[in-house]
Amino acid sequence: MSEDLVRRMAALAVEVGANVQPGQVVGMGCRPGTEPLVRAIAEAAYRRGARFVDVGWYDPHVKRARLRHAAEDTLEWVPPWYGERARALGEMRAANIALAGAVAPGLFDDVDPARAGRDRLPSIREFTEVIMSGRLNWTVIPCPTPAWAALVHPDLAPEEALARLWEQVAHICRLDEPDPATAWAARGRELKDSAARVNARRFDALHFRGPGTDLVVGLLPTTTFVGGGETRDDGLPFMPNLPTEEVFATPDPLRTEGVVASTRPLDLAGTLITGLTVRFAAGRAVEITADTGQEVLRARAAVDEGAARLGEVALVDSSGRIGALDTVFYDTLLDENATSHIAIGAGYPMGAGAEDAERVNTSAIHIDFMIGGPEVDVFGRTAEGAEVPVLIGGDWRV
């Protein structure tokens, strides 16, 4: 990739994504291989007046050593300073920038899945809580690395694969627009309009129908689709994900019923989950099967009461830039914005009204998986039981 492209990606993360403010501390979450973008983001943040950029690194190879050799009863232990850092970032109203991308796919394939499921790092409960509290302005953006590029474009030579992935990511992130900030503002307005149209219908549930999928996701009385950007609890706007092509909401954790087949593979921090099918009853994932990674996902879904219930339902129409590329990126940030998806685990408070705040699902985990696509249609079920087309063949009908 060119230095200029890296610099523009950094500017997007700092100015449009996290919207870093003068005097802010900026937390980062990164992995080896992302150094060029990390350094460019640090420079952009300091130029914008950041007080300090604290780069947190996560190396999946070090985690692999733990999963293979550490004593069984230590695998859930997390150093207390990890949580202290997260809480302090919240207290300071810090910014946070995380870099997404497949890390080291298949790295844990020869690890006992039950052991892999017990170590949830780099995800930590306190950070999830701080994110959910609305005290951070934060963003997750993709950062191509040679390892990720090799996974997505296995037929290309290493340098070509990396260049091709950067090109795709630049397109997806609208860096090929004259002014990416303006382009994202426009796309944000479109997403807010779509969300408003869905919300106006006050559906009681959404019904997903497609190959292997017949799933009804019950909604709360105040379930609210949001998207196209958020605001911190004090009103500071930011874009939690770049790219973002979704409108998402917090469903009723007690009322999901039926079967759903995942339409894209999911890379769960080194474990590739393919051929996933989940059966829900009374809101709980009571049966999880997969061609690969089944035990790891089962272990995650068992970490607490909320881990087997839905925290998110998201609708993605076909007008976004990711689905059109017809590429599996093996990375949730990109793949979830290619198509409609659901997530088990913690729900976002902003996806429902304050009256239902107590009913939003809580959990230490939040795992998205992709269930949409051109063959999966989405209907809204009204309080009276009628079904109204919402997304048909990927196109909005509301």
Q: Which residues bind its own copies (CB under 8 A)?
A: 25, 32, 35, 38-39, 42-43, 45-47, 49-55, 57, 59, 61-62, 65-66, 68-71, 74, 77, 79-81, 84-85, 88
Query: Nearer to its own copies by C-beta: 117 or 345?
Result: 117
Nearest to 31 by CA among 102, 93, 88: 102
**Minimum distance from CB of 267 to its own copies (Å)?**
20
**Minimum distance from CB of 141 to its own copies (Å)?**
17
Judged on CB neighbours under 10 Å (0-12, 13-18, 19+), 9 is buried
Query: Nearer to its own copies by C-beta: 270 or 323?
Result: 270
**Minimum distance from CB of 345 to its own copies (Å)?**
24
Instruction: For residues 23 and 378, give the distance between their C-alpha atoms in angstroms, rounded to a whole number.
Output: 45
Query: Nearer to its own copies by C-beta: 121 or 302?
Result: 121
**Minimum distance from CB of 355 to its own copies (Å)?**
36
Phi, psi of 102 (to 5 degrees): -60, 135
Instruction: For residues 276 and 264, give the distance between their C-alpha atoms in angstroms, rounded to a whole number.
Output: 9
Q: CA 276, 248, 204 angle in degrees (round to 5)?
A: 90
Query: Nearer to its own copies by C-beta: 45 or 390?
Result: 45
DSSP, res 73 = G
**Computed from CA positions of residues 12, 14, 18, 19, in that sequence, does the dihedral angle turn out positive or negative?**
negative
**Minimum distance from CB of 296 to its own copies (Å)?**
19
- Residues ≥6 apart with Cβ < 8 Å to 140: 17, 97, 98, 99, 100, 240, 241, 242, 333
Query: Nearer to its own copies by C-beta: 81 or 154?
Result: 81
Q: CA 275, 277, 282 angle in degrees (round to 5)?
A: 165
**Minimum distance from CB of 84 to its own copies (Å)?**
5
Q: Pairing between strand 271-273 and 310-316?
A: unpaired
Query: Nearer to its own copies by C-beta: 69 or 200?
Result: 69
**Minimum distance from CB of 35 to its own copies (Å)?**
6
Query: Nearer to its own copies by C-beta: 77 or 201?
Result: 77
- Which token pair is 143? 């950062």
Query: Nearer to its own copies by C-beta: 146 or 393?
Result: 146
Nearest to 337 by CA among 366, 317, 357, 355: 317
| Partner residues linked to 32 by β-bridges | none
**Minimum distance from CB of 29 to its own copies (Å)?**
12
DSSP, res 49 = T
**Among the residues of 212-264, which ranges form H helices?**
none
